[in-house]
Amino acid sequence: MLNIFCGYDERESVGYHIFCQSVLSRSSIPVAFTPLRANGMRQGTNAFTTSRFSVAALMGYEGSAVFADAADMVMMCDAKELQDALINLKGAVGVVKHNYVTKNPIKYIGTEMESPNTNYPRKNWASFMLINCAHPAWQKITPEYLQIADRMYDLLQLSFIADEDIEEIDASWNCIVDEDQNTDGARILHWTAGVPGFEHYKNAIGANIWREEWKKTAYPMPTM
């Protein structure tokens, strides 16, 4: 069974349900979803900024799992492809190694989540991670370690993992739609500035895909 840990924020909860629906509607294998909130850890622009790094501990530092921001993502392929990618992981983590400066200085415009969209090295590497939970690099990432607030950006940049243990996966696994990345063949579509369910982003690239997934959930559209 494939374990997917998902970012969850009540302010954009519709996105979590849409992501899960997009996975389930295409999957040929069993999938288990675990939503992650703040759980008392420091929050950034969303509730799960820090708690995403608790996956290995939650898995008992055994096996493997996936973390996805989820709340602003849609999966476009069979989860079996993701399981195969996870099986082939040798390092501590596999990520899409983005290298960009955002063209969206403000994110979540017009919502209670509105905030500056900060640039930093390795931005969005940790928004979708294949995680080898048994790798020694994760052993020090305990719940106590994650409680220290000033570690947030170090965590987001995966600075606790040696460079050689950060594997690069195909860019199709984390296509950032609103940064004009090529969506051809994308396995994961990612709206980092705001999902099409928010009024300001209703005409975003790929909004029709997001809305088609929403229709499958029968989940009420948010009023923002």
For 163-221, the pLDDT digits (tens) are: 999 999 999 999 999 998 989 999 999 999 999 999 999 999 999 999 999 988 865 55
pLDDT of residue 54: 96
Q: Which of 37, 32, 33 is nearest to 12 (CA)?
A: 37
Residue 177 and residue 157: Cα distance in Å, rounded? 21
pLDDT-flagged residues of the chain (< 70): 149, 218-224
Q: Looking at 78-187, list the stretches that DSSP marks H as alpha helix, in order from N- to C-terminal side.
A: 79-87, 143-146, 152-156
The residue length of the chain stands at 224
pLDDT at 50 (0 to 100): 92
Q: Compute and round to an integer the Cα radius of gyration of the chain.
A: 16
Q: Mind listing the domains of the chain with CATH numbers?
A: 2-217 (3.90.550.10)
User: Which pLDDT value is given to residue 149?
Assistant: 66
Q: What residues does 27 pair with on adjacent strands?
A: none
Q: What separation, in Å, do the N-terminal and C-terminal C-alpha atoms of the chain show?
A: 36
pLDDT of residue 217: 84
Greatest Cα pair distance in the chain: 45
